[in-house]
Amino acid sequence: MTESALPHDPLWPRAGSWPTPGRARAHVGILGVPTHLTSLSPTGAHTTPAAVRGALNRYSTWSYAVDRDLTGLRAVDLGDVRQPDGPAGEVRTQEAVGSWTGDLLIAIGGDNSLTYPVAVGMGATGVVTLDAHHDLRDGSSNGSPIRRLLDAGLPGRRVVQVGLADFANSAAYVERARAAGITIITRDEVAESGIRAAMHRALTIAGVGPNPRIHVDLDVDVCDRSVAPACPASVPGGLSAYELRLAARAAGADPRVVSLDIAEVDATADSPDERTVRLAALCVLEAAAGVAVRSTASPDLPQLPANHTEREPGSLG
């Protein structure tokens, strides 16, 4: 069913019309970062921000999980960063995210190379990744954002990687992660403890220190291939769609989390039912639902929380 063929019901507002264009101060900002040129495998991930925005129209704004309607939050669509690849593109991305003054910035990729400029632009003091891979490769690509963040000064002890898959990483990169002090929470450990406990542990570690600013990377290839066919590196046995949605909600609910990216979805390679793009859209909504419970004073959240702390000397940016 195309977007134009979706039924209209004034009592069933669609999530796609919830964010308004512009740069007004808001609780949630949505920014497209269509990186794709440095991907280790050919990708059409630059088409994904538009696809995710379209998929939002398939969903409503009501969340049973938080007993809130997202229309009680102010959300703005900041558009897309123009040509975000390469050094000049990364500067444009850092400038775009650095001007954000709301509670949570959601950056829609694009391949995983967007994680580096978004985290730097937001002055991240800690990073949590949900990813099947370490992303510690040399060079500048979608396989290197975490190594680049370490090189830029992010302490490894404030990096937590959740959902790492067996037979998806090399011994050399495992050793690189351990040597850097990165906390590793494998797919098996998530299955044993549950995603809620894994996220609590991850956010606790990444959020240590004064004025913490956490960036969360949702690399959708952490999911099982059956639910993420548009992610070229997803493997059988990864996280379920529900687990990724819970992780997005947990990230949004933590006031130390200032930004979140959704990466590695190639909309041109998705299944006919667009299940991966739809999952990415639901992660946008789940993260926003998390923001809705940061303040419990009013379901309408009439006042924006003042969580815009000064950036510490050890933070990125």
Scan for tokens 């049973």, then name that residue.
64
- Mean pLDDT, rounded, of the chain: 92
134-143 tens-digit pLDDT: 999 999 999 9
- Residue ranges of E strands in the chain: 20-21, 28-33, 62-63, 68-69, 75-80, 104-109, 126-130, 159-164, 183-186, 214-219, 257-263
The tokens describing 2, both together, are: 């195309």
Average pLDDT over residues 178-199: 99
CB distance 65 to 249 below 8 Å:
yes
**pTM recorded for the entire structure:** 0.92
If pLDDT is split at 50, 70 and 90, which confidence band does 295 have? Answer: low
Q: Who's near 236: CB < 8 A, 6+ residues apart?
A: 224, 225, 226
Residue 71, classified by CB atoms within 10 Å of its CB into exposed (0-12), middle (13-18) or buried (19+), is middle
**Side chain identity at 36, as an amino acid letter?**
H
pLDDT at 165 over 90: yes
Percent of the chain with pLDDT strictly greater than 70: 91
Q: Who's near 22: CB < 8 A, 6+ residues apart?
A: 76, 77, 78
pLDDT at 95 over 50: yes
Output helix, strand, coil percentages for the chain, rounded to the nearest 5: 40, 20, 45
pLDDT at 301 over 90: no
Helix, coil or strand: residue 28: strand
The tokens describing 34, both together, are: 């269509």
Question: Rounded to whole angstroms, how far apart are CA atoms 249 and 243?
Answer: 10
Q: What CATH number labels 3-126+139-155+211-292?
A: 3.40.800.10
The tokens describing 199, both together, are: 């996220």
CB distance 171 to 260 below 8 Å:
no
CB distance 283 to 99 below 8 Å:
no
Q: 23 forms bridges with which residues in the sheet?
A: none
List Cα–Cα distances, 163 to 9, 157, 176, in angstroms. Answer: 39, 17, 17
223-253 tens-digit pLDDT: 999 999 999 999 999 999 999 999 999 999 9
Helix, coil or strand: residue 274: coil
107-136 tens-digit pLDDT: 999 999 999 999 999 999 999 999 999 999
Q: 76 forms bridges with which residues in the sheet?
A: 20, 29
